[in-house]
Structures are given as C-alpha cells and as structure tokens.
C-alpha cells in the first residue's frame, strides 16, 4: 500500500486525476470505477479540466458505479446513477452508453446484484476504482463487520451513515433510504488499482486504522492492505494520526518518477 500525503483536497484531486489520465493514455477504453459524495469532487473537476484542455482523450472511457440506493428512481437527483452522470459522465463529454451500474429499482434485488458482478467481469474488470472512506472505516457501503470476501449485494445502512448522508437530502434523514446495493469487498479487491482519497480530521482515525491497523472486518477499508496495487491519498488533516507519516512523506518524495501513482 502506498500512502501519499498532500496539502489539501485539491492537490489530492490533481494527483489522482493525473493517474486516471495516464491510465487513459495507456488504455483509452479503461473502465473507471467511481465513488460519490463530496470527497471525490476535486478528482472529477481536475480530470474534466484535463479533457477540456486536450491533455487527455476520455472519449472511449467507460464508467461504473460503486454502489446505489435501493428504491430511489434512477432519475431521482440523489440516486447515485444521477449523481455519477451529473458529476462524471457529462463533464467528461461521455454519454450514458459508456456507463454501467446496478439496478436499485429491481424487484429482485439479489438477482440485480449478481447481474452487476457478472457485468463487471464481462467488461474485463475495473482498471481503477476510486474509493472514499466513512468515519467508521467503511468503503462503498460495506459497513463494519462486512465479509472481506463479499460480493455485490444489498446492505442495510447504519444510522451513522444515514446521518452522514442526510446532508444530500436537505438534512432530512427520513428521506435517506435504509438499503443500498454495493460492490462487496471481494468485488472491490478485483479492480487492478484501488485509489482511496480521504480528507479532513474527521477521517483521521479511520485512515490510521486502515493503513496501520490490522486487517479486520470491523474496519472494512483495511482490506486494501491485501491488494497488490492500492494507493491511499490523504490531506494533512486526515493524515494527522498516522504514526508513520514522516516515512510516507519521505518515500513519496523519493519515489522514481517513472513509477507513477
């Protein structure tokens, strides 16, 4: 696992966007897994700026979702499908044809989960999966004590996660669904490159447990320690509880330029 400490969210977004751009230069039809929420917005803004400037051609890129609310209509403004189309697909100049995600409105949710796992595999697998991290260490919607071998499935959200997400529903927790479809940890670990961005002091404990703690289902993000190519990008606040912060700064500063992110 590589840990990159940056001054702020914008710097983190730029570093990750350049890694995504480099991937698209090598593999123009790369399948990019995206996350929602406020944390990854600097990534999407930086990548869209590179596309507009002609620094990278994203016209053949493919986009896939990490998770989706169960029961929200696909065109609901806070469905993750709508969010990804608005924040990623459209700014990159792509169409819905380049996009894939689980069906949160399916009558048979389990079948929809299994179908999405098959679709990801059939698409050749995810080349780069972006991740955020919850204050309790969850990734996607894999809450604490999720199986580290789990596949795409339905999950019941914890009350804390619903409280955290109420800000996207005008602060009304009653509007936040209780259930989601999420890629499982086992599914996530199949991506070729995992990139987690965390910002703010509120994520410091979760980051420290993810990076320096034991691999444990109680901290789902700690499963990244098992991945051969996982990158954790954190701002100074989110890195504030890392015991090896100076080591991580030193190794990144002295990293060979050809190695990339």
Write b or e for each residue in 171-206: b if 16 or more Cβ atoms lie within 10 A of its Cβ, otherwise e: eeeeebbeebbbbbbbbbbbbbbbbbbbbbeebbbb
Tell which phi-psi region holds residue 12, choosing left (phi > 0), alpha (psi between -120 and 50) or beta: alpha
Quote the CA–CA distance of 43 and 1 in Å, as a whole number. Answer: 20
Residues 199, 15 contacting (CB under 8 angstroms): no
- Closest residue by Cα to residue 75 from 85, 87, 62, 88: 85
Cβ contact 168:39 at 8 Å: no
Which residues are the active-site residues?
Answer: 67, 136, 138, 143
Q: Is 2 exposed, middle or buried (0-12, 13-18, 19+ CB in 10 A)?
A: middle
What 8-state DSSP symbol labels residue 71?
Answer: S
CA–CA separation, 128 and 112 (whole Å): 23
β-strand pairing of 193-198 with 230-235: parallel
**What contacts 90, CB < 8 A, 6 or more positions away?**
none
């Amino acid at each position: 696992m590589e840990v990159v400490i940056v001054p702020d969210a914008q710097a983190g977004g730029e570093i990750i966007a350049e890694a995504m751009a480099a991937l698209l230069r090598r593999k123009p039809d790369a399948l990019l897994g995206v996350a929602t929420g406020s944390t990854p917005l600097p990534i999407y803004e930086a990548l869209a700026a590179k596309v507009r400037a002609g620094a990278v051609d994203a016209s053949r890129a493919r986009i896939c979702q990490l998770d989706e609310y169960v029961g929200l209509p696909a065109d609901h403004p806070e469905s993750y499908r709508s969010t990804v189309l608005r924040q990623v697909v459209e700014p990159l100049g792509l169409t819905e044809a380049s996009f894939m995600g689980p069906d949160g409105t399916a009558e048979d949710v389990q079948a929809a989960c299994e179908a999405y796992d098959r679709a990801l595999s059939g698409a050749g697998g995810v080349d780069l999966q972006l991740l955020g991290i919850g204050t309790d260490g969850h990734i996607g919607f894999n809450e604490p004590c999720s199986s580290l071998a789990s596949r795409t499935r339905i999950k019941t959200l914890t009350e804390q996660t619903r409280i955290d997400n109420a800000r996207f529903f005008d602060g009304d927790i009653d509007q936040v669904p209780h259930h989601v479809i999420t890629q499982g940890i086992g599914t996530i670990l199949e991506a070729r490159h995992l990139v987690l961005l965390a910002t703010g002091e509120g994520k410091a404990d979760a980051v420290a447990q993810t990076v320096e703690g034991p691999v444990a289902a109680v901290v789902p993000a700690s499963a990244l320690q098992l991945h051969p190519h996982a990158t954790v990008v954190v701002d100074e606040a989110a890195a504030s509880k890392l015991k090896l912060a100076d080591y991580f700064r030193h190794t990144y500063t002295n990293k060979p330029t050809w190695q990339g992110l």
